[in-house]
Amino acid sequence: MDDDCSLHEVRAVLNHLDSLKAVHNVYFTERPPATAADLAAWEAEHAPLRLPQDLKDFLLVSNGLELRWNVQHLAEALPLGCMHLNSISQLLPCADEVTHDEFGRLAAELPAATERVVDLDTKCEGGRVCLVPCGRAEMQVWFQDLACRWSFIANSFTDYFRLMVLHLGLPRWQYAYTEVGLDPIARQWARLVAPERLALVPGTNGAVLELRHAPALPPTRVK
């Protein structure tokens, strides 16, 4: 992942949120970077797991991410959006029961070679976002819903990061990539804050925000 690109995309989100009349109180704190020693220590502790290079590059710029924003509803500001990525200390392998049933069988949806997965976002609403090893130092991103079903989201951390940015951290946006699809409330919020990005994609049960529909957003201030 290009470091300047990732920071630019976060600033673009801040800019877009600032332009929306319904959005208030955008909270974003820049985090110091992790160190190369931090990454090496993580891989030594959790071997044979290895972090993908694009995630390492991101952590060396910002040790995790948290951006929150509220929406104005009548006279009340309601917490709505959250873009969150774990810091290096929070990137922990999940327990076996997350990926296996009581008989030790791997969830049918996951790649057959899956042994351990890593929690990417401990603040995910409505499920679990995990890094799933798919080769030497390569990881895909999968989502486990509240019914414990797994759904593929992205081939890499970079792809997931860009989808998260595109969805503005809307609640339960990951469900757009499941068989269940976005619930009516989540879809309504998407129409309110990102109407130009909401598109129905053939073959999916629900609305999916696609990368090709993202307009270029110039930098601006934070509320």
DSSP of 20-87: -TTEEEEEE-PPPPP-HHHHHHHHHHTTT----HHHHHHHTT-SSEEEEEEEEETTEEEEEEEEEE--
What is the gyration radius of the CA atoms in the chain, in angstroms? 18
Q: How confident is the model at residue 77 (pLDDT cuts 50, 70, 90)?
A: confident
pLDDT higher than threshold 90 for residue 216: no
Which residues touch 206 (CB under 8 Å, ≥6 apart)?
175, 176, 180, 181, 182, 187
Give residue 204's pLDDT.
Answer: 40
**CB hemisphere CA count around 49 (13 angstroms):** 21
Give residue 43's pLDDT.
Answer: 97
pLDDT higher than threshold 50 for residue 171: yes
Specify the 3-state DSSP secondary structure of 8.
Answer: helix
Are residues 114 and 99 in contact, defined by beta-carbon separation less than 8 angstroms?
yes
Give residue 3's pLDDT.
Answer: 55
DSSP 8-state class, residue 102: T
Give residue 203's pLDDT.
Answer: 40
**For residue 25, what are the CA distances in angstroms to 20, 28, 30, 43, 49?**
11, 10, 16, 37, 38
pLDDT higher than threshold 70 for residue 140: yes
Tell me the average pLDDT across 100-108: 94
If one compares 151 and 21, the residue with the highest pLDDT of the two is: 151
Q: Is the pTM of this model over 0.95?
A: no
One DSSP character per residue, 25-36 reads EEEE-PPPPP-H
pLDDT higher than threshold 50 for residue 219: no
Tell me the average pLDDT across 58-85: 91
Candidates 31, 15, 37; CA nearest to 84 is: 31
Q: Which residues pair with 71 in a beta bridge?
A: 23, 78
Pick the most confident of 69-83, 89-103, 187-201.
Answer: 89-103
Pick the most confident of 5-9, 173-177, 213-217.
Answer: 173-177
Query: Residues 27-66: pLDDT tens digits?
Result: 998 899 999 999 999 999 999 999 999 999 999 999 999 9
Tell me the average pLDDT across 91-104: 95
| Average of per-residue pLDDT values in the chain | 85
Q: How confident is the model at residue 74 (pLDDT cuts 50, 70, 90)?
A: confident
Q: How confident is the model at residue 208 (pLDDT cuts 50, 70, 90)?
A: very low
